[in-house]
Structures are given as C-alpha cells and as structure tokens.
C-alpha cells in the first residue's frame, strides 16, 4: 500500500467527516458483532435496531420489514438522478460458532493484535459496516447524486435468504423497480507476488440440497436382516462419495483460471492458462484438489454428504434412514438431469430423493460501468491492483437479483496475504483493523465515482 488507508481516505474526500467515519468503523463493527444474530434462529431484528440507531443519529431515514417475527430487514435510500439505482447489500445473520474452539468469545468483537475477532467479522457484518460508513460519508458530503444509492441489510442468507432478500423481492418488489446494479459479498482480495488481486464474483455454482430416504423392514438390533434402511442409505452414500463427476470447463471458470495464471509459477502457470487441457492432467488435478479444493470444485458438479439420520434407539433397526447431500452444480447443469443421474448411481428403488432447496444459475457480465467504477476505486488505493472476474463455489443472495436482471457483483474489498486463514464459517473469524478501514475507504471512493456527478 502506497499510503496508510486513513491518509488515502482523507486525500480522497478532503473532509473531517471522512476521518470520523474511518475512526468509527472499528467500534461499530465490534458493536455489531455483539448483537446476537446467529441463524438459526436469526433474530435479525436485533441487527436492524442496531443499524437503525446509527442511521437515525446521522439523520438518514430508513424503512424496515419483518418477514416473520424477529426476521428483520432494513433499507435506506439516498435519492439521486435518473440513472439506474445501486444497492449495497449485506446479510445480518451469521452462522453458529462453537466457543470451545475459539481463542475469544465468538460474539465479543474483541481486538487481539489489531484483529477484530467475532462471528460475522467477515461474513458479512464487516462488509456491512464498511458499506454503512461509506454510505454515511456520501450522505454527509451533500454531493449531488446521479443515481439512487440504497443500503440494504437482510435476514436469513445463511439458510437460503427466503426470509430476507428472496422475501423482499417477492413482497416489496417496488423497492427494486429502478435498480440496475448491486454490490454484495462473494469476492475479496489476495496479494500474489506483491500484486493486489481482487476477485469480483460474477456467477456461482448452483446449490441443490437433497434428502435421500431409504425404507425397509424394521426390527430388533439383535436379529440383523440381509437388508435394512440403514444398510441401504450407507451403501448409497458410499456410491455417491466414490463417484467422480465429469470434469467440465464452463466459460466463466475458464476465464477465471486464465486470469489467475500470470500469478502462478512454472508448470502450474502453463496449465492454468489452458484449463481445457489441464483438466485431463491427473497429477495436476490431484494437487489442485489437495491444495486448493475450492478451485478444483469449479471444474465439476460436486456432492458432499453432510447429515445422516437413522434410529433414535441403539437396539432398534429403523423403518427409514436418511442422508442429506449438499450438491453444487455447474451453472449450465440441468438439475433434473443431475438427479436422474444420481438415481442411476444409487441404483436402489427403496431410496427416494427429495429436493430441499435449489436455485437457478445466472451470470453478470463484467462489461458494465459498475465493473469499471470498481476497478477505478480500487486503483486509487492499490495502483497496480488487478481485478479478476470469479466464480464462487458457495452461494450468496446475488442469485435472487441476477434472476431479475440486476447486475450483481460479489465485491468485499478486504485484502489478505496468500494463504492467510480468515476463519469464515470456521474458528477465530477475524479481520484486521487496517483491512477494515481500507475496505471502507475503497467503498467510499467507489460510491463517489459511481454515484456522484
């Protein structure tokens, strides 16, 4: 970084208000982490109250809606000109955390060695506070806007978004009538050989969550039968776990690996530059899956065995047993065809497959003024920054908005050294205070670039 993020922030805005926004970022994230919004059950209305108080103190009006008791959503709008509106989106809910595996209380927001620890520090309360501070600085500047800018915080993303983004689109469609662009989670930065590279998520693998239910004759554990529901479900799970799904290279993934190639070394650089050949190279694919499984997963459909249910009593052979699968499909995969192929793999008429959840694929083009504005804003802080359009193995709420033709990018401008473990959905989730301040500065630069005249 050429200058400290605080100095760059001040150089950009030339305002004491900007300095105050940076100074508040850390304490506000600490406070947000301390608001318990673990999903389940969510209780996102607690987060709505916290954010609402900050907005009220800044003189910004906002609206809220509960999709169910305690499942709160919030949005605030800065009005501007006639160009398509922009949404800054984050989700209020966080996943559970087992405190026995953490160095600090997961809901403490404690600072240790200049890192803010806590569930949601990155996913996505840290992004939400950075967006909030940038939004408030834009408001305080009094600059004329060429488009509306909407700050939106939603419920339930960690469980599919059906009480949050999905619910708002269905029940408050008027909020999105003039919206053309959206910034959300899904991309962040890594330093490759001193080059800051920011992934901008433009599409994602499609989640397909399935439940397999095996049925057979129940009985006593002391008299094993040749077949049982448990034996059937274990056999099905074993067959799926040992199936290597066909590797395929979709265009967005091809472009992603080609953009990564210049930051690799030796043979790995050559292979990533032409993944159409590399996917047939077994030693390379084995090393990729071992070292970077999240990238290997972009090259095929996948299924992870996650939950297993049998008898609730040790000496009873149950009439049914169930296995749940977290499958992630390539964007061009027909889910119905995929399920039929699973039935062939399982090869057991006593097992029924039911769908728990599934979404539709969608891609946002990188050839947009939004992408250009992000690149310009990032370059103000990191002169040699490179932007890489990426594909996410996980899902975010962005798919809801891509389905209604809103250009949606995953862009969280945090920058990590290569190999740093941030703890998203794991133990000791954290973000450095400097990283948080720099992200706030970049988002502020972006808003002034994209939204002001």
* Fold assignment, 5-186+396-451: Aminopeptidase (3.40.630)
Q: Return the axis-axis angle of helices 433-451 and 369-381, rounded to nearest 10°.
A: 130
* Fold assignment, 206-358: Alpha-Beta Plaits (3.30.70)
CA 390 – CA 397 distance, rounded (Å)? 16
Sorted by sequence, the CB contacts under 8 Å of residue 72 that are 6+ apart come out as: 44, 45, 46, 47, 48, 49, 64, 65, 66, 92, 155
What pLDDT, on the 0 to 100 scale, is given for residue 5?
A: 42
Q: Which residue, chain included where needed, has tokens 């000109």?
A: 81
CA 44 – CA 218 distance, rounded (Å)? 43
Residues 260-285 pLDDT 10s: 999 999 999 999 999 999 999 999 99
Residues 206-254 pLDDT 10s: 999 999 999 999 999 999 999 999 999 999 999 999 999 999 999 999 9
CA 302 – CA 327 distance, rounded (Å)? 5
Domain boundaries, the chain: 5-186+396-451, 206-358
Residues 121-174 pLDDT 10s: 999 999 999 999 999 999 999 999 999 999 999 999 999 999 999 999 999 999
CA 69 – CA 48 distance, rounded (Å)? 13
Confidence bin at 55 (pLDDT 50/70/90): very high
pLDDT of 9 > 50? The answer is no
Confidence bin at 23 (pLDDT 50/70/90): confident
Q: Mean of the pLDDT values across residues 65-79?
A: 98
Instruction: Judge whether 5-186+396-451 and 206-358 match in fold.
Output: no
What pLDDT, on the 0 to 100 scale, is given for residue 423?
A: 78
Look at strands 179-184 and 407-410 and give their pairing. Answer: parallel
């Amino acid at each position: 970084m050429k200058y400290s993020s605080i100095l760059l922030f001040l150089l950009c805005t030339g305002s004491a208000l900007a300095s105050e926004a940076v100074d508040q970022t850390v304490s506000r994230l600490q406070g947000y982490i301390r608001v318990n919004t673990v999903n389940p059950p969510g209780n996102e209305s607690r987060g709505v109250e916290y954010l609402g108080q900050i907005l009220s103190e800044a003189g910004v009006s906002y609206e809220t809606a509960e999709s169910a008791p305690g499942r709160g959503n919030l949005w605030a709008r800065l009005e501007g000109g006639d160009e398509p509106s922009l949404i800054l989106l984050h989700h209020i809910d966080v996943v559970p955390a087992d405190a026995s595996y953490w160095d600090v209380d997961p809901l403490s927001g404690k600072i240790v060695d200049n890192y803010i620890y806590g569930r949601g520090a990155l996913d996505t309360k840290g992004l939400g506070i950075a967006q909030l501070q940038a939004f408030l600085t834009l408001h305080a500047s009094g600059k004329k806007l060429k488009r509306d800018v909407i700050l939106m915080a939603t419920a339930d993303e960690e469980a599919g978004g059906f009480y949050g983004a999905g619910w708002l689109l269905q029940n408050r469609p008027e909020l999105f009538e003039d919206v053309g662009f959206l910034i959300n989670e899904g991309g962040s930065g890594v330093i490759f050989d001193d080059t800051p590279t920011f992934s901008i998520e433009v599409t994602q693998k499609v989640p397909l969550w399935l439940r397999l239910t095996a049925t057979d004759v129940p009985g006593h554990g002391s008299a094993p039968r040749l077949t049982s529901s448990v034996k059937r479900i274990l056999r099905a799970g074993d067959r799926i776990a040992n199936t290597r799904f066909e590797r395929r290279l979709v265009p967005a993934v091809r472009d992603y690996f080609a953009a990564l190639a210049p930051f690799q070394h030796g043979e790995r650089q050559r292979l990533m530059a032409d993944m159409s050949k590399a996917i047939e190279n077994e030693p390379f694919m084995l090393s990729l899956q071992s070292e970077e499984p999240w990238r290997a997963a972009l090259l095929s459909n996948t299924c992870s065995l996650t939950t297993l249910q049998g008898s609730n009593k040790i000496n009873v052979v149950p009439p049914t047993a169930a296995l749940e699968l977290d499958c992630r499909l390539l964007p061009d995969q027909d889910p119905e065809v995929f399920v039929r192929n699973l039935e062939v793999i399982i090869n057991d008429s006593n097992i029924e497959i039911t769908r728990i959840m599934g979404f539709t694929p969608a891609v946002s083009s990188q050839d947009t003024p939004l992408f250009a504005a992000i690149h310009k804003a990032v370059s103000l802080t990191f002169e040699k920054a490179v932007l890489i359009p990426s594909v996410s193995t996980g899902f975010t709420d962005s798919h809801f908005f891509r389905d209604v033709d809103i250009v949606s990018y995953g862009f969280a401008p945090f920058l990590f050294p290569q190999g740093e473990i941030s703890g998203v959905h794991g133990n000791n989730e954290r973000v450095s205070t400097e990283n948080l301040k720099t992200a706030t500065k970049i988002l502020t630069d972006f808003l002034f670039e994209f939204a002001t005249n």
